[in-house]
Amino acid sequence: MTGVRSSGPLIVSMGDPAGVGPEVIARGWDALRQQRQSVLHPSPLPFVVLGDAATLAKQGFPVEAVYGPHDAFQVFNRAIPVIDLPAPAPVVAGQPDPANAAAVADWIERGVDMILSGEGSGLVTAPIAKAPMYASGFRFPGHTEFIAELTADMPFIGTRGPVMMLTAQNLRACLVTIHVPIDQLPELVTADRVLRVARVVHESMKRDFGIAKPRLAMAALNPHAGEGGSIGLQEIEVLRPAAAQLRGEGIDISDPLPADTLFHEEARARFDAHICLYHDQALIPVKTLDFWGGVNATLGLPIVRTSPDHGTGFDIAGKGIARPDSFIAAVKLASEMAAKRATR
Ligand SMILES: NC(=O)C1=CN([C@@H]2O[C@H](COP(=O)(O)OP(=O)(O)OC[C@H]3O[C@@H](n4cnc5c(N)ncnc54)[C@H](O)[C@@H]3O)[C@@H](O)[C@H]2O)C=CC1
Ligand SMILES: NCC(=O)COP(=O)(O)O
């Protein structure tokens, strides 16, 4: 099977309760519930929050405790449905506490379980701060790898990820490496990694985005795509052969192209997704194009998972100024991806 099918709502994990997560969830709920009542907008799925109900209730919007995801359909139009899983330590906006890290991880894990059991259609994760999670023993670089492990035993037809994709407007930037030091890139950008990521992205464009013939761009690692080998050899030794092999498999992908001219308007129009080799190569264009509305999605998993593309914003948490745009976009994208999967 392609993955889990469900008629349930989306599941939202609260993320670090001291960050902007509770605030963007609450404000996002207010906007989405109004949109769901409007005929002008497509209706995204309702969601249920897993996390600390007391923190959510402080955001100035009605909150209603529910017992299971399905209750979201009755409650969503009047209040934010939440399955209350209290944080063990007091929550102070802007001050993350490693004592809450295990609960933050538990909210994600329960969310994944609910989707694997068919109770939820997709997971939207509010941001976690990596440092307090690591301090309490969390051993994954982020949600992406954690959720991949949690779903590893679930059957899935196709090339398995996880692949991190950041999207804004018409740009879908997909990462070959994620949170790694820049000096390790020459060793980490291997043909195997590039092949796997490109296959995952190609399949996901069809499965999750309904693009019948995806056109992929491959970004080069070196300036000017290596300038014929005089500014680096990865293009000649790794990337061009990988692109040729992928084309032999029927995947429409470019040879490695200079990254500095790969993200402007006309270049974006020519490709459905960009294969980027490292974190900032993908995230700088996405966040420059749309800092407020970008979305992070994990491709190549048995479940749908999206997230706002911003972090915990501890500097503004609790001040009532965090924008919910990215969270709203993450809910809409998860709804669309779940709908595409449901039709397969
Ligand atoms: N999906 C996730 O769980 C993510 C987690 N993070 C984590 O977040 C923590 C903080 O990371 P930073 O690099 O500082 O990035 P950040 O995105 O939290 O903050 C960067 C800037 O954007 C602002 N900002 C963030 N969200 C905003 C919103 N909704 N509305 C208005 N302004 C907003 C912040 O005030 C700050 O000035 C780190 O521990 C990082 O690992 C970062 C990105 C994604
Ligand atoms: N910079 C993106 C990011 O940190 C998100 O990571 P993840 O928690 O979605 O794996």
Contacts of 198 (CB under 8 A, 6+ apart): 216, 218, 242, 246, 251, 253, 275
What is the predicted pLDDT for the residue at 114?
A: 97
What is the predicted pLDDT for the residue at 22?
A: 98
Q: Is 127 in the pocket of ligand 1 (CB under 6 A)?
A: yes
Return the ligand 1 atom nearest residue 131 CA: 39
Tens of pLDDT, residue by residue over 175-190, are 999 999 999 999 999 9
The answer to whether 41 is annotated as binding is: no
Return the CATH class of domain 1-156+303-344.
alpha beta
Tens of pLDDT, residue by residue over 307-333, are 999 999 999 999 999 999 999 999 999
Using the mean position of ligand 2's atoms as its centre, give its distance from the Cα of residue 142 in Å.
6
Tens of pLDDT, residue by residue over 229-284, are 999 999 999 999 999 999 999 999 999 999 999 999 999 999 999 999 999 999 99
The matching CATH number, chosen from 3.40.718.10, 3.40.190.10, 3.40.1670.10, 3.40.50.11030, for 159-300 is: 3.40.718.10
What is the model's pTM?
A: 0.96
The ipTM value here is 0.97
Q: How far is residue 120's CA from residue 69's CA, in Å, rounded to a whole number? A: 7
The answer to whether 279 is annotated as binding is: yes
Tens of pLDDT, residue by residue over 130-153, are 999 999 999 999 999 999 999 999
What is the predicted pLDDT for the residue at 43?
A: 78
Model confidence at 159, pLDDT cuts 50, 70, 90, reads very high
The mean pLDDT value for 145-164 works out to 96
What is the predicted pLDDT for the residue at 198?
A: 98
Q: How far is residue 179's CA from residue 162's CA, in Å, rounded to a whole number? A: 13
What is the predicted pLDDT for the residue at 325?
A: 97
Mutate to test the pocket of ligand 1, among 146, 310, 328 (most ligand atoms within 8 A of CB): 310
Domain residue spans in the chain? 1-156+303-344, 159-300
Model confidence at 342, pLDDT cuts 50, 70, 90, reads confident
Tokens of 183: 């000096």
E strand map for the chain: 10-13, 47-51, 63-65, 80-84, 122-125, 163-168, 171-175, 215-219, 252-257, 273-276, 295-299, 305-308
Residues above pLDDT 90, as percent of the chain: 92
